Amino acid sequence: MLNCKQVATLASDYLDNNTSLRWQIRLHLLMCANCRRFIRHLQITRDVGARMAINEPGADAEAVWNKVQTRIKKEAQPDQE
Ligand SMILES: [Zn+2]
């Protein structure tokens, strides 16, 4: 069984579909809300970063981070829009 630290280390490879431990990570995610949140936020960060690289190539890291924060906040409060 993987622990949270191992899952955090493997998170990037997991999102890239690049680890043989995929099922062990999924198993851990089923039981661990913290790591679920961590992976979700990592996914959002990568997603926003990738989109901005295409749509706003001049954007700096702070602009990317602001968008990530906005998306995470939106997901946390889906009823408050
Ligand atoms: Zn965990």
What secondary structure does DSSP assign to 25-52, as a single string?
A: HHHHHHH-HHHHHHHHHHHHHHHHHHHH
Is pLDDT larger for residue 73 or for residue 4?
4
Torsion (CA) 14, 53, 80, 15 in degrees, nearest 10? 0
Reported as a single tens digit per residue, the pLDDT across 26-74 is 999 999 999 999 999 999 999 999 999 999 998 888 999 999 999 999 8
Of the pLDDT bands very low, low, confident and very high (cuts 50, 70, 90), residue 79 is low
Q: How many Å lie between the centroid of ligand 1 and the Cα of residue 12?
A: 15
Q: How many Å lie between the centroid of ligand 1 and the Cα of residue 41?
A: 14
Is pLDDT larger for residue 79 or for residue 26?
26
Q: How many Å lie between the centroid of ligand 1 and the Cα of residue 1?
A: 11
Q: How many Å lie between the centroid of ligand 1 and the Cα of residue 44?
A: 18
Q: How many Å lie between the centroid of ligand 1 and the Cα of residue 15?
A: 16
